[in-house]
Amino acid sequence: MIYPQPSIKCVFIAWRKLSRRTELLSKYTKCEYVLFKGSITYIDLAYRTMRYIDRYRPRVIVAQLPPGPLLAVLTILKRFYGYRLIVDIHTSFLVYNDIKSWVLNKPFRFFLKYCDNILVHNDDITELIPRSLRDKTIVVYDPWPLIVEQADMCKESEDCIVFPASYAPDEPLEEVLSTISRSDLDIKLYVTGDWRRRKNLRDRYGSNRIIFTGYLPMDEYYKLLCKAKAVITGTKREYTLLMSAWEAVAFRKPLIVNKTRTLEKIFKDYAIFYNHKNPESIIHAINMARDTKIDEATYRKLLDITLNSIDKLLKIIKTS
């Protein structure tokens, strides 16, 4: 790892990469971004984190959660180093898919009361924050405006759609793949992300119409979004907003997404919604997206609420 120069004002700390959100937020707020990776144990990660803080003495630390042990470590160190502690809570810190996720996060929710501020990704998830902590909870949307300049370079689109896949259990990827493979839709679907996480999906659905790209460098990924007719994505889990949905907005592409309460509240005027349990609904949404034009007023509204939310975080950091 390349360390910044000693004595820094603020730093975003992560123990694993969940999405581009943390990296983009650090860029927007002009903070350092440190991703500790490659360690086998949480003890090693805790030790490396303590060494970093001792050396650079940041005044503000923004922690990406999960995992929960990072919150415990930073809470303890806060007593010795006196920094402002802000936590950026991803949905998986509060909503669990399996016992491992529960063990690594649920017991550590206790430490939230020692944080100075709590960041969440949408209004709905504040329901899961204890009432006593909601006054210091701030909704900060993903900083997609930072990638708009990439979208401005787009030329003509092709008759293809992109599914930016995480291969997570809550993602309706197989439902979409199954529907397209059995349909007569004359369109290509590009599925990005590391298909090795669910190799059986590529083996079953890979074809000349369904192309698994694997993990793409960021410039190639942006080029693919540029040429797409639309972006399709989704989650079966409530309280979750998707960076891939915001990327569709940034590139002014029609957004095809399954309907949840959380997603509908934000994207009701922008997205084309489908029912992931209904193949006809998926096909109908794809066909609608191919002829959809982006409404500029709706785009500007999403841009304004995003910038206003991030500016709240920026103000906290600047005044700390």
pTM: 0.91
Note the helical H segments in the chain: 21-29, 42-56, 68-81, 99-105, 148-151, 173-182, 199-205, 218-227, 243-250, 261-267, 279-290, 296-318
Instruction: Extract the tokens encoding 206.
Output: 């890979």
Instruction: Give per-residue pLDDT as tens, 225-271.
Output: 999 999 999 999 999 999 999 999 999 999 999 999 999 999 999 99
Give the pLDDT of residue 19: 85
Q: What is the mean pLDDT of residues 182-195?
A: 95
Q: How far is CA 94 from the centre of its chain?
A: 15
7 pLDDT band, cuts 50/70/90, is low
Q: What is the mean pLDDT of residues 186-214?
A: 95
Indicate the DSSP class of residue 89: E
Instruction: Give per-residue pLDDT as tens, 142-161.
Output: 999 999 877 777 777 788 99
Domains of the chain: 10-140 (3.40.50.2000), 146-301 (3.40.50.2000)
Share of the chain above pLDDT 70, in %: 98
Evaluate the CA torsion angle 122, 128, 129, 131 in order and state its sign.
Answer: positive
Give the pLDDT of residue 141: 97
4 pLDDT band, cuts 50/70/90, is very low
pLDDT at 177 over 70: yes
Q: Are 42 and 69 in contact (CB under 8 A)?
A: yes
Share of the chain above pLDDT 90, in %: 87
Which range in 26-40, 62-76, 90-104, 148-162 is most confidently predicted, on average pLDDT?
62-76
How high does pLDDT run on average in the chain? 93
pLDDT at 3 over 80: no
Q: Are 91 and 240 in contact (CB under 8 A)?
A: yes
Among all chains, which residue has been given the structure tokens 């123990």? Answer: 15
pLDDT at 6 over 80: no
Radius of gyration of the chain (CA): 20
Among all chains, which residue has been given the structure tokens 């959660």? Answer: 65
Give the pLDDT of residue 265: 96
Evaluate the CA torsion angle 292, 305, 260, 199 in order and state its sign.
Answer: positive
Instruction: Give per-residue pLDDT as tens, 259-315.
Output: 999 999 999 999 999 999 999 999 999 999 998 999 999 999 999 999 999 999 999
pLDDT at 79 over 50: yes
pLDDT at 215 over 90: yes
CA distances (Å), origin 119, targets 34, 63, 92, 138, 151 = 18, 10, 14, 5, 27
